[in-house]
Structure 1
Amino acid sequence: MEEYQSLIHHIQNRIQLSEEELDQFVSEFKITKIKKRQFIIQPDFVAKYRNYVVKGALRAYVVSGQGQEHTISFAIEDWWISDYNSYIYQQPATMFVMALEDTVLLQLDFEAETKLKNTNPKFETFFRITAERTAAFFQRRIILNLTSTAEERYESFIEKYPSIVQRVPQYALASYLGMTTEFLSKIRNKKLKKKS
């Protein structure tokens, strides 16, 4: 049950559960192993799972009508990822979610989550806390994108998530930060020159 240890720790950091409640909660998750470049969500298919990352890295993105990719989010160990609009409303997805590395997930399906929420108010509290943190994160991200220069967005990202920078392709990071790969290269080179 080694795969479940990080999830158990994650849950206990947010809500207090008895041993029995914890077992009940965790038993609804299933372990899934994903190969690098494999998709777990694709447009037009309903996102069946909320995904907790045990090991690995994933990227959620959309493709514009012109074929341009826009990275919406990344997820590494101890983070969640899904197409939440699709998952919550059980309607077709608009995003791709793809593994950037070989990945181990703990997946919770929509019916199981609904059952958990109806079984115990503490479980519902856990999902509310998770949703609130996600909403706050996306709000900070939108504000940063609207009020900061490209350099400031890059600086902020490497300061907050230094481990992700090394693990995601440059084109994916550039699209997450709202710039071209070439422009990101220029910013990085400028930073390197300042250091030397």
Structure 2
Amino acid sequence: MRTELQPLLNQIQRYVSLTEGEIEKLLAICEVKTFRKRQFLDQPGFVSGYRNYILKGAFRSYFIDPEGKEHTVQIAIEDWFVSDFYSYITQTPATLFVEAQEDTTLVQMAYKDIEGLCKEIHALSEYFRITTERAFAFSRHRALSGISMSAEARYLEWAARYPEMDRRISQKVIASYLGMTPEFLSKIKKKISSEC
């Protein structure tokens, strides 16, 4: 077995069990790719053709509003999937930029290959159902916290859940993800530091 793909198998097998034969079929459609910092995985106007699992590194997904302001909708690190998910699922042109925040290594699985395997391997289809439902639930939680929590509470919740991201991702990107300016995030961090 290709040992570099073990993290992906571990991720899948947290939720479902695959036979040796099913694992072989899955690994046969996996391709390991590297992306340099600032390189794009998806861009508006192009259909997202791959499920992308991060082995090492970080990406962010964002869109640019009519005034030219960037809005980060996802930050993803090791053991996460990343892409313009709407484009991938609907096979329509992407609306998001998906950009490497660090030099990154990921596993790519083509849409047509995954769709074919999911028809053949029930456990794999179940895995993607479970993880899609979890992603939807998290997205709903994030939307609600954005309108019901203070900026400071949003930052504290995020930093407690993802402490490693606070060290690896730029303050500008974190602020964009949390719906505030970098200057306001800096004030929040200073206030928290002074209270410790």
TM-score w.r.t. length of structure 1:
0.97
Alignment of 1:1-196 (within 5 A): 1-195=2-196
| Equivalent position amino acid for 1:35 in 2 | R
| Equivalent position amino acid for 1:161 in 2 | Y
Q: Percent identity, aligned pairs only?
A: 43
| Equivalent position amino acid for 1:108 in 2 | M
Distance in 2, Cα, partners of 1:2 & 1:56:
18
Distance in 2, Cα, partners of 1:126 & 1:108:
15
Structure 2, unaligned runs of 5 or more = none
Say how many residue pairs are matched.
195
| Equivalent position amino acid for 1:193 in 2 | S
Distance in 2, Cα, partners of 1:81 & 1:31:
14
| Equivalent position amino acid for 1:178 in 2 | G
SS in 2 for 1:176: helix
Moved more, 25-34 or 179-188: 25-34
Distance in 1, Cα, partners of 2:128 & 2:111:
12
What are the superposed Cα offsets for residues 41-64 of structure 1, whole Å, 9 maximum, x if unpaired? Answer: 000111111110000000000100
Distance in 1, Cα, partners of 2:187 & 2:3:
42
SS in 2 for 1:80: coil
What are the superposed Cα offsets for residues 62-103 of structure 1, whole Å, 9 maximum, x if unpaired? Answer: 100000000000110000111111111111100000000000
Alpha-carbon offset, residue 15 of structure 1: 0.4
Alpha-carbon offset, residue 2 of structure 1: 2.7
Q: Calculate the aligned-residue CA RMSD, in Å.
A: 0.8
What are the superposed Cα offsets for residues 7-47 of structure 1, whole Å, 9 maximum, x if unpaired? Answer: 01111111011111112122211111001110010001111
Structure 1, unaligned runs of 5 or more = none
TM-score w.r.t. length of structure 2:
0.97
| Equivalent position amino acid for 1:133 in 2 | R
Distance in 1, Cα, partners of 2:43 & 2:4:
25
Q: Which runs of 4+ in 1 moved over 6 A?
A: none
